Amino acid sequence: MTGFLVTLASSDPLGHVLDHDLYWLTENLQITRHVLFLVLAAALCLIVFPMVAKRIAGGAPGGRFTGLFEVILIYIRDQMVEPFLGDDTRKFVPLIWTFFFFVLFCNLLGLVPGSATATSNISVTAGLALIAFVTYHAVGVKRNGLVKYLKDSLLVGPALLWPMMIPIEILSQIIRPCALAIRLFANMVGGHIMLAVILGFAGILSAESFFLGTTITVISLASCVLLMFLELLVAGIQAYIFAFLTTVFLSLAIHPEH
Q: How far apart are CA 157 and CA 240, in angstroms?
A: 32
CB 199, CB 12: distance < 8 Å? no
pLDDT digit string (tens) for 73-91?
A: 989 999 999 999 988 889 9
Domain ranges of the chain: 2-254
Question: Is residue 59's pLDDT more than 80?
Answer: no
The residue among 23 and 144 whose pLDDT is bigger is 144
Q: How far apart are CA 53 and CA 60, in angstroms?
A: 12
Count the neighbouring beta carbons within 10 Å of the beta carbon of residue 125: 27
User: Whole-model pTM?
Assistant: 0.81
* Average pLDDT value for residue range 81-102: 92
